[in-house]
Amino acid sequence: AKQNGKGGYAFFKPELDAAARRRVSLEEALRIAILRDELSIAIQSQYSPLSQIKGGEVLVRWLNGPDGVPVSPAEFIPVAETSGLIKPLTLLVLSKALAVVTELMDAGILLPLSVNFSTDLFRDVTLIDGVLALVAESGVPPELLVLEITESLFIDTQADVLANMERLSTAGLKFSLDDFGTGYSNLAYLKRMHLSELKIDKSFVDHLPHDDDNRAIVRSILSIARQLRLRVVAEGVETAAQADFLSAHGCDLLQGYLLHKPAPAAEWVSSVKLLKSE
Ligand code: C2E
Ligand code: CA
Ligand code: CA
Ligand code: CA
């Protein structure tokens, strides 16, 4: 321990220090990666219970991170969210997603894509303007764009957040509530928030159909969704037994490694074109 300016002692914590330094270096590298357009997207298909492709989720990828090693979005998205980089990052991901939808449209294929949107973005009017401008420029029907948001948005029911969501929803964009069941679930909000879809979190899909609690939770989510006329997507489907249980109980769409692993956008586009030309 060494003495600090206030006459007390500041303890040197090497682990904390390393974590803080990693964050700073990630932030610097991410800023440059965004400027140089070094982020890419992967897409994971979503299927009906009859195994028809119905759309895909867009997932950002940073393959060439510091030291030339890929960095997981689970690590760099929180850094982006606390550094202001989430806004340019999201607009970049969105424009890549729109390019994919456009390429499929040119081949006569209409498939919606879901894009993850961090909660804080809905406080920023200029971001909303940017989203609407990109969609308008692309010529993509707004209905083919689904924004995945999380329940943390509902804690903050500031008027401007609601107004910003409403602008996007009025323009035709769809909203999906991601990781449903893990956050602050006030069911009254489900109706107010212009949602068209719920995504059941992977933690509830895990251990289906054997786990009694998860079975009950998934069935009640499906029943609430049916009453509110919301579509339901299950994420993290890894086994046929999970897929069978979810399908039997009326889940609309399935997403997970059992059906498809996220693939680079170009590869995904080719495989969808091939599928649709059969
Ligand atoms: P998420 O939105 O819950 O996305 C699902 C994550 O689960 C993805 O991880 C996906 O690759 C993974 N996954 C899909 N199927 C399975 C499965 O069957 N088993 C398992 N174990 N995992 C599966 P990924 O790509 O590493 O993304 C992690 C998180 O990072 C995402 O979680 C999302 O919260 C965030 N994220 C990713 N891309 C973006 C983005 O463009 N913007 C923002 N704001 N967040 C993003
Ligand atoms: Ca998501
Ligand atoms: Ca999710
Ligand atoms: Ca999740």
Residue-wise pLDDT tens digits, 45-90: 999 999 999 999 999 999 999 989 999 999 999 999 999 999 999 9
Q: Are 255 and 46 in contact (CB under 8 A)?
A: yes
- Which tens digits make up the pLDDT trace of 163-186? 899 999 999 999 999 988 887 666
Atom 15 of ligand 1, residue of closest alpha carbon: 256
Q: Model confidence at 1, in pLDDT bands (50, 70, 90)?
A: very low
Instruction: Report long-range pairs for 178-182 (Cβ below 8 Å, ≥24 apart).
Output: 178/116, 178/148, 178/149, 178/150, 179/150, 179/151, 179/235, 180/151, 180/221, 181/217, 181/221, 182/151
pLDDT, the chain, mean: 91
For the residues 100-121, what does the mean pLDDT come to? 96
pLDDT number for residue 10: 58
Full-model pTM:
0.93
Q: Where are the beta strands (DSSP E) in 202-250?
A: 231-234
Ligand 1 site residues (CB inside 6 A) read 44, 59-60, 72-74, 77, 90, 93, 116, 118, 178-179, 235-238, 256-257, 262
Expressed in angstroms and rounded, the spacing between residue 203 Cα and the centre of ligand 1 is: 13
Expressed in percent and rounded to 5, the helix, strand and coil fractions of the chain are 50, 20, 30
* Ligand 1, pocket-test mutation among 34, 59, 233, 261, most atoms within 8 A of CB: 59
ipTM exceeding cut-off 0.90 for this assembly: yes
